[in-house]
Structure 1
């Protein structure tokens, strides 16, 4: 299934070092713009191609063209912002950037591909290919290298510092399979200049029921569910949905959906410490726990809301909606 790992690995390891100036020349920028156009077309085809063969062929062409483009002098400073099917994320210190993209089969299974490009003082190219080995990793909580990567599409990087060490917490999404998808938190560090994925950073020491510290954190849930897992600067926490089985079958992760409660991780003393509940809503006297069904399709992952806030928003929307006409006119009921 990982049909492209040898190609990407060989291309990255065989690359000569390219010494560069401190910024892109106009000629190199123009060259990269042209190469970006070709990459954009291939990227669209490898995601939306009509079948597995079409996407496979686009992938085979995309990888060497991307490496060729990155060999341009000081390519680190070119954003590649037209590559809509490739996620490119930088940490706060911009010491590297990560390219990730997905490979989906006709039967709905996902694998992932990527590379880390380091920022170098002389503008030379330094890449670490990311080889998706999630299919073969028996223990998902293990610490791995870039050649045994738990593949996903990264959508955020949270940088923290503790005892002269930089920690890069990666928020990722995995399309997984036809029945479920996943979101995960991973930790990237660099040891002797080499990337290391996973670290004992996710602590449950403050929970009433203690759990072992984890190297990596996962949420698996129903395919069409809308689930939050991200860092929110205004709260200074990584917040995620509390999930429950909608069919009361907790062993079946593909039945898990949010229940509008939230958990979180807070950075404390070099670890992400688990917070079991971030909202503690109190009902007014006589108030029902749920005056109307909560519409999970309208859930906004960019703004964390308590159940009370969601109910208020839905009530306001219902009040603003025009009343449906009927054959028998009756006074409109108050919302």
Structure 2
């Protein structure tokens, strides 16, 4: 996990930056970003757990102080590549998340929600990872009971005069398994609410109870996807099976080249048992990066065409040599 570099879903905010931030504040944020970048690098790549923890403890208050700069919402922090950033379509808030690895290869996650305020003042909700203390992840929580993960995507839906933000996250989880998570973020009385009865299985052949949060847990070194496909307008994910026939052991689960999904209907994500009924066409579905410490941007989903193009480029180089 030391080499994971995450740079996801940053908006191009140059126009807003010029309009909102003064030249002096922008120069100050440029300098402060350099300091934050150095600390965040050590949070991911520090050789000892104590060093990573120390740098994380220093990073958090400094990030908060930096965000106190008026209209800091319009500063992208795009050089801090170890911190994931997601914005909804309406740009009403943004979420920063990052991981902290322990020496036993387990993780805690940290994050903040920064609201986009009209006067540029700071309104912030810190995210406290409660996953180690929650036996049941199918819950509805606030920012203090957050099920920690690294957010790599967000989509926004409007229904009955309310906004619904579906978040996609990744959790390295343990030495044997990893997780992909889809959950709804809503705001009640201005406060964030994570989870809710938005994942319906009522249309399944055998209907199952609605879930407050959808989680895929699978083998640590397997490749599985959970993401929104804009062309199909659905959430699509790998169908998983146990490679050893031990259905109760999630760390044995791997994709079987079949795909399920969710379709937005009447304010809920309704489960689709089988997305493709014919042969799959290459490049028509997203796939995620494998859990490989030698790779970077492992939570950034890519299409099969992207991967094949990279492989073709590598083969071309070998032929030239």
Interval containing the TM-score (normalised by the shorter chain): 0.7 to 0.9
TM-score (normalizing by structure 2): 0.82
Correspondence for 1:76 among 61, 73, 93: 73
Return the alpha-carbon distance in structure 2 between the equivalents of residues 85 and 122 of structure 1. 29
Take 1:193 and 1:282, find their aligned partners in 2: how far apart are those partners? 46
C-alpha distance 304-229 of structure 1, shift in aligned 2 (>3 A): farther
User: Mind listing any 5+ residue stretches in structure 2 that lack a counterpart?
Assistant: 1-17, 281-288, 291-299, 317-321
Q: Which residue of 162, 173, 186 corresponds with 2:183?
A: 186
In structure 1, the partner of 2:296 is: none
The whole-number CA distance in structure 2 between the counterparts of 1:167 and 1:84 is 27
Partner of 1:153: 150
Residue 100 (str. 1) matches residue 66 (str. 2): no
d(CA) in 2 for partners of 1:282, 1:194: 45
Structure whose alpha-carbon radius of gyration is higher: 1
Q: How far 1:138 moved relative to its partner?
A: 2.5
2:236 is matched with: 239
Shift of 1:282: 6.2
Aligned to 2:133: 136
Q: Using a 3 Å threshold, how does the CA distance of structure 1 residues 94 and 132 change in structure 2: closer, same or farther?
A: same
Shift of 1:37: 0.5
Distance in 2 of aligned mates of 1:153 and 1:93:
21
- 2:264 corresponds to: 267
2:34 corresponds in structure 1 to 37
2:252 is aligned to: 255
Q: Which runs of 5+ in 1 are unaligned?
A: 1-20, 284-295, 306-312, 322-335
Distance 1:120 1:22, change over 3 A: farther
**Number of aligned residues:** 276
Within 2, Cα distance between the matches of 1:170 and 1:276? 21
Distance 1:282 1:74 in 2: 50
1:5-27 deviation per Cα after TM superposition (whole angstroms, max 9, x unaligned): xxxxxxxxxxxxxxxx9610000
Which of 219, 225, 248 is 2:222 aligned to? 225
Higher relative contact order (CA 8 A, sep 6+): 2
1:117 to 114, 118, 138: 114
Corresponding residue for residue 199 of structure 2: 202
Supply the RMSD in Å over aligned alpha carbons: 2.2
Deviation at 1:106, TM superposition (A): 1.1
Contact 1:227-1:301 at 8 Å conserved across structures: no
Give the TM-score normalised by the residue count of structure 1.
Answer: 0.79
Shift of 1:302: 2.8
What is the distance in 2 between the residues matched to 1:134 and 1:160? 27
Mapped partners of 2:100, 2:69: distance in 1: 26
Which region of structure 1 is more displaced relative to structure 2, 237-246 or 22-31?
22-31
Is 1:126 paired with 2:123?
yes
Contact 1:22-1:122 at 8 Å conserved across structures: no
Measured in 2, the distance between the counterparts of 1:174 and 1:260 equals 22
Displacement of 1:304 in angstroms is: 6.9
1:302 corresponds in structure 2 to 302
Cα distance in 2 between the residues matched to 1:303 and 1:25:
40
Secondary structure of 2:238 counterpart = strand
Q: CA deviation at 1:187?
A: 0.6
